[in-house]
Amino acid sequence: MKTGLIGLLAVLLLLTACHTRPPEPRRGDEIVVAGQFFHTGARVLTWMDPGGFNAYPGDGRNYNPRRDLALRTLPALQKRVDQFVIHYDDCGLSSISFAILQKRRLSVHFLIDVDGTIYQTLDLVDAAQHATIANSRSVGVELAGIGAQPPGQHKVFDQWYQRDATGRTLLRLPAHAPLTYTGGPIRPDLVRGEVQGKTLEQYDFTPEQYAALAKLTAALCRALPLIACDYPRDAAGRLMVEKIPDAAYEKFHGVLGHYHIQENKIDPGPAFQWDKVISEARALLKSKAP
């Protein structure tokens, strides 16, 4: 009995050694995919880092752990995950967003704050609770921002944005904000557009957020090659601005918005620049630069 136990332990140690990567110096731009580091070229704080957001503590009901060890490997994940879902958090800051998600027993793999910092809250091997039917096959990201409103409803915009003497639009962060940021949206004026058949207005995201998102998108497409670097298009090749029909959704592999999945969602909103993100991510993939 004792001999058998020793033999079993030896086998387990050998298997562990075979699947353990040699330690690498951290550069601070790594995301974690099935326990492995992938470089992004952007600033990343994981749940293991000081100042990061950790979605693991608690009763585990805010995410779906894949308990079968056979499914917790990079090859298994690469055969299963084929979508990258983009949200806005409707909160303004990633710290507020993360606290609300935790309170509502929800989660998302990544948050990108207004200064471009990427926060990873879970290893991608665990499914986040962020987009209903997409959860098991997707990675999710929340962009910090206050979202879109019907035309004329500017009260919330006035609370979060202000014009300086030169006419530049700047973010007006609350006094309790845990970061210092002096920038603003990449476009100075409200953007009006249509999502789900509704006319909406929205301030765009910051230049830092777009740069970080393009780098994150490229890294995910590289790590999880079933995620095609493209968004949902209609028959004419234009961006779809409504929920994808069920049959088309089942076949879609790529980058999409929350509104492409659920009729009751409008994020990431009409101001989001899909072509900017996809073209920059494709350029990174082509250059093979993190």
- pLDDT, one tens digit per residue, over 142-172 is 999 999 999 998 899 999 999 998 989 999 9
What is the gyration radius of the CA atoms in the chain, in angstroms? 20
Crossing angle for the helix pair 274-287 and 207-223, to the nearest 10 degrees: 50
> Tens of pLDDT along 169-200?
999 999 889 999 999 999 999 999 999 999 99
Residue 34 has pLDDT above 50, yes or no: yes
Residue type, 169: T
Q: What is the mean pLDDT of residues 269-274?
A: 98
Predicted TM-score (pTM) of the model is 0.90
Going by pLDDT thresholds of 50, 70 and 90, the confidence category of residue 289 is confident
What are the C-alpha distances in Å from 150 to residues 46, 199, 200? Answer: 35, 6, 5
* The token pair that represents 279 in the structure block: 């073209």
Q: Does the pLDDT at position 5 exceed 60?
A: no
The strand pairing partners of 85, in sequence order, are 140, 256
Per-state percent for the chain, helix, strand, coil, to nearest 5: 30, 20, 50
Domains and CATH numbers, the chain: 27-287 (3.40.80.10)
For residues 106-137, one letter each, b for 16 or more C-beta atoms within 10 angstroms of the residue's C-beta and e for the rest, the string is bbbbbbbbbbbbbbbbbbbbbbbbbbeebbeb
